[in-house]
Chains A and B, each alone.
Chain A
Amino acid sequence: MGALLAADTLQGPKVDWFALSPILILLGGAMVLLVVGALMPAWPKRCYALFTVAVAGAAAVMSFILWNRINHEGTKTLVGDAMWLDKPGVWIAITVCVGVILAALLTDDYLRREGIDGPELYALYLLAAIGAVVMGTANDLIVLFLGLEILSIALYVMAASHRKRAASQESGLKYFILGGFSSAFLLYGVSLVYGSTGSTNLGKILAASENVIVLDRSKETLLLAGIALLLVGLAFKVAAVPFHFWSPDVYEGAPTPVTAFMASVGKAAAFAAMLRVLLMALPTWAADYRPAIWLLAVLTLVGGSVMAVVQTNVKRMLAFSSISHAGYILVGVEAAAHDARAGLISTGVSSVLIYLLVYTVLVGGTFGVITAVGRTGDGATDLAGFRGLGRTKPALALGMTVLLLAQAGVPLTSGFVAKFGVIGDGVRTHSYALAIIAMVSAVIAAFLYLRIMISMWIADPEVGDDAREAVRVPVLLNVAITLSVGFTLAVGFFPDWLIHAAP
């Protein structure tokens, strides 16, 4: 404190601006959209979406360049030890950019169809992506908390952004209350970890926590309570059972493209943060938190797939399916916790990262189809809305079938590669019970995807007065679904390159 006041000028940390370029590009893009969008008359149609795609694409390209740089120069910390430039972080940045690109492509026609066209939602995508990238690269619990809040606050607004639909605002409020609630838990966890180790920096926590056992029993208790609260906060964000109750309501009420963004980017960022906190700061305590993750994984796997089966609204079904996907990712996290000493370089971590990228693309395409089927008003997402889609829009139904098969984890799709990775790691680390439960719940969850497929291919289209307006598939939505299906099949048939690329 004294040294700080005595210094004439405050010496800021040296900043490697180039290493921060993905974040800066996203920020610049969001500012351009907000300022230029407010000052200029409305841009021609598709321009907002294409601009967002270009910005996220540029951020992804910079991430690839940084990836190359890490290959040559190794990892390093940025901005005075507050962030990491390492491969898992860059991988998450690329995943987030992919999520933004897909969501922006879905949003374009959606906004015009619903009569709420404007640049705001795109700017929020880019701002939320900054939060997600910060979460994925944070080397300090406070930086992690700030990233989480940047992401979450943007998501609350996005969820409530459909002004004409009461369900959207309701979902925004629910998400806000429960999100704030969970952030407070996370922050209390940060506070207790800080109190017991004397720092919020992940490296310093690691150094201090190795001495805690020798030092003081009461500090050990404080630290374990802190870890538990951190886990509760992060489990809320990834929607793990029993902290999942917000997600079906929020997924159903939010505008469908926003749901895609929430499910992909939100989940990727929260899991990246979870890996970083557990493996980089607290590997000493792996034996203590691993049973908690094991239990969360079992509850999430079983709970997600069983509750999904009884739903009748496809958006709710996919919310529960997203919960069960979180369960598979937790299987990977549990496996990574076995090798916690290795930090972020273990096969458990790389299979989690592969799962997150694959799931981001899958969920973008799946919710793309639901965006089209939702029709004007975004309300026709019940199972009956899909009836006869195989006859009226065979290409769309075929794409949806591929995506659903991939979500179920059928071989020759990317979903199989992802699930095989995490369950294989569970077996390798001798978590046999967990691996078996994961496989059984995959079978239960397959029933839910089959229900949607049956509705599309076997049920007759609605006729007469019951018939709703025809499903339209505009250009950009088509591009998004095609990209998503293409990636799903490409990874399914040729998984090697992705597995080798993963850090």
Chain B
Amino acid sequence: MIAAIQPTTTWYLLLSAALFAIGVVGVMVRRNPLVLFMCIELMLNAVNLSFVAFAKKMGDVGGESTVFFVMVVAAAEVVVGLGIVVAILRHKPNATTDDLSELKG
């Protein structure tokens, strides 16, 4: 009976929406800069999943090739982000976003 259930595109889309939501909540509630990066990565990869699901459904390579662009962009973002974090941690070891309070707001 279970074997008869085939995952459809909708399943993947729901999964990607759920992962995206986890990423959004993570960015809002977590305080460690590295965990924030991971949440943003999760959001981007959730979008990748939806791109692939749509591409598979429509039989179009456009969505699949987009994923590569997104992966390159995500990698470039992480390089820059980690560079900034390292620069900050040199001044203040173990900093969380709560400790970064030079700027109000």
Contact = CB atoms under 8 A, between A and B. Distances in A.
Bound pair (A, B): yes
Contact of A176 (B57, B73, B80): B80
Interface in A481-502: none
A163 B36 contact: no
Interface in A119-174: 142, 145-146, 149, 153, 156-157, 160, 163, 166-167, 169-174
Q: Report, as a range, how many residues of chain B touch the other chain.
A: 35 or more
A199 B62 contact: yes
B59 to A, nearest CB: 7
Given A163-B87, A169-B87, A142 B69 contact: yes
B34 to A, nearest CB: 11
Interface string A169-195: 111111011001101100110111011
B47 interface: yes
Given A149-B76, A173-B84, A191 B47 contact: yes
Interface string A61-101: 00000000000000000000000000000000000000000
B20 A198 contact: no
Given A149-B76, A156-B81, A167-B102, A180 B40 contact: yes
A17 interface: no
A25 B20 CA distance: 38
Given A149-B77, A169-B91, A198-B60, A160 B50 contact: no
If over half of B's interface residues share one DSSP class (helix, strand or loop), that class is named, otherwise mixed; here it is: helix
A300 to B, nearest CB: 17
A188 B66 CA distance: 12
A191 B50 contact: yes
Given A4-B61, A177-B27, A248 B40 contact: no
A192 B17 CA distance: 11
Contacts of A348: none
A432 to B, nearest CB: 34
A195 B53 CA distance: 9
Contacts of B40: 177, 180-181, 184
Contacts of B61: 1, 4
B80 A192 contact: no
B44 A184 contact: yes
B2 interface: no
Given A184-B47, A191-B50, A167 B77 contact: no
A174 B62 CA distance: 33
A198 B88 contact: no
B80 A187 contact: no
Interface of A: 1, 4, 142, 145-146, 149, 153, 156-157, 160, 163, 166-167, 169-174, 176-177, 180-181, 183-184, 187-188, 190-192, 194-195, 198-200, 245, 248-249, 252-253
User: Sorted from nearest, which 5 A-B pairs have the closest CB atoms?
Assistant: A184-B43, A195-B54, A249-B103, A180-B40, A167-B102
